[in-house]
Amino acid sequence: MHPIATTGHRPSQSGIRLFESRDEAGPGALELAGARLRYDRNAEIFGEGEEAEFIYKVISGAVRSVKLLADGRRQISAFHLPGDWFGIESDSDHQFSADAVSDCEVLVVSRNAAMAMAEREGEVARALLAITSRDLGRARDHMLLLGRKSASERIAAFLLDMARRSDGALIQLPMSRYDIADYLGLTIETVSRTITEMSRKGWIGLDGSRRLSIRNPQALRQLDA
């Protein structure tokens, strides 16, 4: 349905980089055991059903966790920004796929090494549990959004979240309208219309489609409920 090419390996154009470095609480020791990898925009980092050999942390750029239906319908369950861990699974196989929203750099740690380390060091075990249960909490918030909120409420929540996660008043969206739509359970047309309407009302300022600022947070928060 959404013709997102999983082509990879275009030469990475190095552009503006927002979302650079806020670390989430993480197992510091793990990072020493990791390797850095680069992925081009839309490149797949791992696929649903593949063996969960590694766990990952975003260094720069953005990553999306994705579930697909056979007919192409897509749901993005989370966007991962620099400092976020992703790909931690209970199962031996990945239950969803992850790919690069923009050109990005990730830290890759062997799952076995991580688990062995968790076994020995309570600190690492606690950090992994904290990351996972925080993600679960976010997932539950997102379910409320997907199950019960209107289009404008979804967009408001999304924009406020992106504002919170970025630093500074200016938000640079790393993802396309397709990605936003598939994250919020809407169509690109509805996303576009709603954002345009918010801009028309003066609640947000637009500078092109990927760059915006929040002018009236109160109005948005009212919708976020």
Partner DNA sequence: CGGCGGCTTGATCGGTCTCAAGTACGGTGG
Partner DNA sequence: CCACCGTACTTGAGACCGATCAAGCCGCCG
- Which residues would be at the binding site for DNA (CB under 7 A)? 13, 150-152, 176-178, 185-193, 195-196, 206, 208-210
Q: Site mask, a copy of itself, residues 36-65, x = CB under 8 A? A: -----------------------------x
Residues 6+ apart with CB under 8 A from 136: none
Choose the contact partner of 178 out of DNA, a copy of itself, none; CB within 5 to 8 A by kind.
Answer: DNA
Residue 133 binding a copy of itself, by CB under 8 A: yes
Q: 195 contacts which partner out of a copy of itself, DNA, none, CB within 5 to 8 A by kind?
A: DNA
Contact 117, 45 (CB under 8 A): no
Answer for which of 42, 82, 182, 223 binds a copy of itself (CB under 8 A) is: 182
Query: Does residue 17 contact residue 60 with C-beta atoms inside 8 Å?
Result: yes
Query: Please, what is the minimum distance in Å from the beta carbon of residue 180 to a copy of itself?
Result: 12
Q: Which stretch binds a copy of itself (CB under 8 A): 14-22, 27-35, 130-138, 163-171?
A: 130-138
Tokens of 122: 């309570």
Residue with tokens 């002018």: 215
200 forms part of the interface with a copy of itself (CB under 8 A): no
Confirm or reject binding of residue 169 to a copy of itself (CB under 8 A).
no
Angle between helices 177-184 and 151-165 (to 10 degrees): 110
Q: Which does 168 bind (CB under 5 to 8 A by kind): a copy of itself, DNA, none?
A: none
Asked if 90 touches a copy of itself (CB under 8 A), the answer is yes
- For 19: left if phi > 0, alpha if psi spans -120 to 50, otherwise beta; the answer is left
- Of the pair 141, 167, the CB lying nearest a copy of itself is at 141
Contacts of 20-25 with C-beta under 8 Å, sequence gap 24+, read: 20/60, 20/82, 21/82, 21/83, 22/82, 22/83, 22/165, 22/167, 23/83, 24/83, 24/84, 24/85, 24/131, 24/134, 25/127, 25/130, 25/131
Cα separation, 78 vs 117, whole angstroms: 26
88 binding partner (options DNA, a copy of itself, none; Cβ < 5 to 8 Å by kind) = a copy of itself
Q: Is 141 in the site for a copy of itself (CB under 8 A)?
A: yes
What does the CA dihedral 116, 54, 26, 120 come to, rounded to 10 degrees? 0
CB of 77 or CB of 166, closer to a copy of itself: 77
**How many residues are there in the chain?**
225
Q: Which residues bind a copy of itself (CB under 8 A)?
A: 65, 67, 69-71, 73-75, 77, 88-91, 95-96, 115, 118-120, 122, 125-126, 128-137, 139-144, 146-149, 182, 184-185, 225
